Each structure stands twice: as C-alpha cells, then as structure tokens.
Amino acid sequence: MPIVTFSALPARQLFPGAAGHYAHTAHLTVGEVDLAAGATVPPHAHPHEQLSYLLAGRAECTIGTETRELTPGMCAVIPGAVVHSFRALTACRVLDIFTPVREDFR
Amino acid sequence: MPIVTFSALPARQLFPGAAGHYAHTAHLTVGEVDLAAGATVPPHAHPHEQLSYLLAGRAECTIGTETRELTPGMCAVIPGAVVHSFRALTACRVLDIFTPVREDFR
C-alpha cells in the first residue's frame, strides 16, 4: 500500500540549512522540507506549478516582486515559471507540492 | 500575491463530522479537512490522483483492500480511480491534494 513517511526517506540537501525528503507519484512530487532559522532558498524558477504549505515555524516567501510572511496553515501558490524565493525567519518545516513530477529530484 | 489561508475560506461540508476548506490552482486542488473523532469518508473513487497528508490526529485509510493507520507526517498516495475510504480514530486534520483540479469542488 502506498503510504509515505517522509522522515523515513533519504534527505536531499537543497541549500545550506535546507534539506527535504521527497516522494514522487504519477503526477506529483511532494517534499517535506526543513529549514534552519535564517536559511534561504535563493530566487529561482521552474516550469512546475508549486504549492508551499507551512507546517511549522515562520517564513518569508517572495513570488515575483511581492514578499509575504507565512505562518502555519498558510500556503503560497507559485505558478510555473515565476521566480520565487524563501527565507526561514525561524526554524521551519514546509510541505512543497509540485506538478508535474520534478524529474530533477528523483 | 497568491497566498491561501485555508481557515479563512468558506467550509465545505463533506460528510457528517467532516468539513474542508479548498483552494484551486491551475492544476491542483488542495484542501485542509477537519474530521471529528469517529467521522468516516465512505468508500469512493474519482479519476483524480490524491495525496492525503496527515497534519494532526490519527486516522485509518483504506486504499483498495488494504487498511493502514496514519499518524502526523504520513501521507497516503491514492492513484486515480482507486476506491478509498477514511476513518478518523481521533479528531484529525488532513491536507488533501488532488490533480487535476476537482471541478466538482469549485
């Protein structure tokens, strides 16, 4: 039965202080990402649509030219090809969802 | 800026004791669903692929003929068209992700 426990998957180091556990399904990639306080995901873009749902902590998300603070239960919607970045204001955990699959993360 | 705070969205009653707040993007529908202890989502299927990530509580998920208990941080992967059901063992909160968009939930 297809049940994923993210913490049991190998971690992928993304940037200093930022590592994620990723699972891939038919059409989705989902990752539980932990960021240390102050860690940043620098501006980047990809063709995949992305949702970033804050599970714990506080973070700042910039999409295009706008920056907003996220607290748990808030979700950033990042359309494909739009430049975005992320900064952990405290240690935080984020659930990142991509479609289509991030083949580069397999 | 496209930030979703699920609790600020209108609730959609799904079944007795089960209600969700849903947002729709280009290719995804995401819902934060709260279930009371003992609430059930009866067996059903839909063509959409679904992920159910347990945010809080304990639940039992049946996919096809197999049943597994979920605790926070576990995620059920439900392929399109496969019968599945859900039972809340305690009050619980689940993040449900669908692709493509659940047009029936708009």
Residue A7 domain flag:
no
Question: What was the ipTM of the complex prediction?
Answer: 0.94
pLDDT in tens, A60-85: 999 999 999 999 999 999 999 999 99
A vs B, Cβ pairs < 8 A, gives 100
Could you report the per-residue pLDDT of B55-65, keeping only the tens digit for each? Answer: 999 999 999 99
pLDDT at B1 > cutoff 60: no
In a domain, A25, yes or no: yes
Residues in chain B: 106
- The model's pLDDT over B25-60, given as tens digits with 9 standing for 90+, comes to 999 999 999 999 999 999 999 999 999 999 999 999
In a domain, A1, yes or no: no
Q: Which domain holds residue B48?
A: 12-105
Would you state the pLDDT for residue A2? 87
What pLDDT shows up at residue A22?
96
- Into how many domains does chain B fold? 1
Q: How far apart are CA B75 and CA B59, in angstroms?
A: 11
**A5 assigned to some structural domain:** no
CATH for B42: 2.60.120.10
Pair A49, B27: CB distance under 8 Å = yes
Residue A6 within any structural domain of the chain: no
Q: Chain B contacts of A2, Cβ < 8 Å? A: 63, 76-79
Q: Is residue A14 part of a domain?
A: no
A68 CA: distance to closest CA in chain B (Å):
8
Q: In this structure, which amino acid lies at residue A76?
A: A
> Is A62 part of a structural domain of the chain?
yes
Assigned token pair, A19? 């590592």
Give a yes or no: residue A100 inside a domain: yes
Residue of A nearest to B33 (CA): A73
Q: Is A11 on the interface with B (CB under 8 A)?
A: no
Distance of CA B59 to the CA centre of its chain: 11
